[in-house]
Every structure is written in C-alpha cells, then in structure tokens.
C-alpha cells in the first residue's frame, strides 16, 4: 500500500480533491447563498467528477513513472518504485485500471451534467497524459505547458458544471443568477490562472532539478536547451507575472466588490502568504544552480499553491459575513 500511495502521488491527488471541493463549497456555495439561488449540479455528479479527475490524474502519475524508469535511475534512484518495488507489467496494469475507473466516473459526471461532450474532456486528459509521459515531456516547453493547462482545468471543471446546471434548470436568467454565476466564475477563473502559472513555474524548476538525468536520456527540457542560468531568469519572470496577477486580482476585482470593499484581512493573507513568498522565490531563482536550491523552490512553490487555494476559506468567510451589505 505504501508503494501504491507513493506511485500515484497521493499528496498531489489530495490537493486535486481539496481544490475541487474548495471551488464548490467555499466559492460557489457561499456566492449562490448570498444571492439567494440554489446550487443546481447534484452532489453525486460532483463526486463523480472529482473521482474521475483524481483517478485519471493518478493513472497519469503511474504512466509517467513507467516511461521515466531510466531517467529516475539517475535523478532519484533511491526513490524509484517501478522496476524495484513494483514490476513494470503491474505498473502498466495499474495505470489502465485507474484510467478505466476514472473514465467510468467521467461518464457518470457527463450524465449528471447533461453534456455528452464532457466525456471528451476525460478521454482527452487520459490521452494527453499518455502522450506527455511517452513523448511530449522530452520536448522543450510543450510538456510543461500541457501539465500547467491540465492543472488549470481542474478548478474550471467545477465552475463549468455548475454554470451548465444553472442554465439547464431555469427558464430565464434574472439579475441574481447573472451576478452569482458571474462572480463565482470570475473567482474560479483566477484560481485556474493561479494554478496554471505556479504549475508552469514548478515544472520548469523540476526540470532544472532533473537536468542530469534528462541530459543522459535525450530529454530536451528548457534547462538542457538553454542552460540553468537563462532558465533561472524565465522562472523569475513567471514569478513576477504571478505576483502581478495576485495584485491585479485584489485591486482590480475583489476590492471593488461589495463584499471586500472594506476588508483588510484578505490583503494581509494574499500579501504575506502568497505575494511575498512568490517574490522571494523569484529572487532566489536568479542565483545559483545547485540542485538543493531547485529542490527547495519546488517544495516552496507547492506550499504557495496550497496556501493560494486555501484563500477560498477567507473568501467564503467574508462573502457570508457581508452577505447582507
């Protein structure tokens, strides 16, 4: 069981589940409640959606390790599972079973959403993770971009299903429906953009950390292609863009809504726990090429991502507290 949990990256899978639950319960629920409208997408449909996403992602981690056996033997030989604790044949079978169950849950979510094309989202994610693991991750930048886009889709799936459920359940949109859906979707889009930028940054940092194994196995990652020092600048630029996005989200959107206009707690939270650490990571990325630096940055960026998603707790509290303003 321990090897299985490590293989499917259970911590990352837990973050996916918590992210989706946060978007539904801490963003959509409170916004809809203060505007006096009901959440339309059924709970069972949401849990099928969440399970589908988790299982397909878990299958993606397994197939990634399956194709990375030779690279991992250089980069992290002491942590390699496939070919050591788990035979390669069992790993590919595990990938298929996780993906099959994930697609089955995806079909159930498609039924709940009344959108047949939804199933192509899950089929596409399954296919793209296979292509990424086998070929695309060896290319320059495109693999990083794909993983960042797939991460960004996770919060969006929750918002999209609720949007379509509302559209199917009412005969006309009154002002409350428009305002509630608009606000919930705009906040979820920010979380998606946040996930995209930080995942992209972290994937590039991980490539810096794994440069030796990548060189030996023909992987043309950004650090292999242009060198670590130039890659450091790219990471710093993405960190700067991320910091600007957080500032923009607060000053040009949230602070102008009736819920957050007179609130200072979100400013402190975003500034102290998201903005400042992001800037620090950007500065640190500019100096040195030691592997331990990239290991630290990778862990720090993951923590900032989790803290960023946890902002939904602050969001929920303030929306509900100021709902009668």
pLDDT in tens, the chain (325 residues): 777 788 788 999 999 999 999 999 999 999 999 998 889 999 999 999 999 999 999 999 988 877 766 655 555 555 667 766 677 788 888 899 999 999 999 999 999 988 888 899 999 999 999 898 887 877 778 989 999 999 999 999 999 999 999 888 877 788 888 899 999 999 999 999 999 999 999 999 999 998 887 787 777 889 999 999 999 999 999 999 999 999 999 998 999 988 998 889 999 999 999 999 999 999 999 998 898 999 999 999 999 999 999 999 999 999 999 876 4
Among 166, 129, 117, residue whose Cα is nearest residue 55: 129
**Measured at the alpha carbon of residue 136, what is the angle toward residues 241 and 68, in degrees to the nearest 5?**
105
Among 144, 321, 274, 124, residue whose Cα is nearest residue 220: 144
Please check whether residue 284 is in contact with residue 297, taking contact to mean a CB–CB distance below 8 angstroms. Answer: yes
Please check whether residue 209 is in contact with residue 186, taking contact to mean a CB–CB distance below 8 angstroms. Answer: no
DSSP state, residue 77? G
The whole-model pTM stands at 0.93
Hey, where are the domains in the chain?
Answer: 2-321
Please check whether residue 151 is in contact with residue 199, taking contact to mean a CB–CB distance below 8 angstroms. Answer: yes
């Amino acid at each position: 069981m321990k090897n299985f949990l490590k293989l499917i990256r259970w911590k990352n899978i837990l973050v996916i589940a918590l992210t989706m639950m946060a978007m539904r319960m801490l963003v959509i629920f409170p916004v809809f409640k203060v505007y006096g409208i009901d959440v339309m997408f059924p709970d069972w449909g949401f849990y099928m959606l969440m399970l589908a996403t988790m299982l397909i992602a878990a299958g993606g981690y397994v197939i990634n390790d399956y194709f990375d056996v030779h690279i991992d033997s250089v980069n992290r030989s002491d942590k390699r599972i496939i070919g050591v604790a788990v035979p390669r044949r069992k790993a590919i079978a595990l990938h298929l079973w996780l993906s099959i169950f994930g697609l089955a849950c995806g079909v159930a979510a498609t039924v709940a959403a009344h959108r047949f094309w939804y199933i192509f989202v899950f089929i596409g994610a399954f296919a793209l993770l296979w292509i990424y693991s086998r070929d695309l991750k060896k290319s320059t930048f495109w693999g990083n971009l794909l993983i960042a886009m797939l991460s960004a889709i996770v919060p969006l799936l929750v918002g999209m299903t609720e949007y379509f459920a509302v559209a199917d359940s009412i005969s006309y949109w009154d002002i409350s429906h428009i305002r509630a859906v608009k606000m919930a979707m705009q906040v979820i889009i920010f979380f998606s953009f946040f996930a995209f930028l930080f995942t992209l940054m972290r994937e590039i940092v991980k490539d810096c950390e794994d440069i030796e194994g990548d060189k030996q196995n023909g992987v043309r990652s950004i650090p292999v292609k242009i060198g670590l020092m130039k890659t450091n600048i790219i990471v710093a630029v993405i960190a700067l863009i991320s910091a600007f996005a957080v500032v923009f989200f607060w000053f040009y959107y949230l602070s102008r809504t009736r819920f957050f206009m007179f609130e200072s707690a979100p400013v402190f939270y975003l500034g102290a726990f998201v903005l400042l650490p992001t800037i620090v990571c950007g500065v640190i990325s500019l100096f040195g090429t030691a592997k331990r630096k990239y290991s630290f940055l990778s862990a720090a960026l993951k923590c900032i991502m989790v803290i960023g998603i946890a902002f939904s707790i602050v969001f929920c509290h303030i929306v509900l507290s100021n709902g009668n303003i």
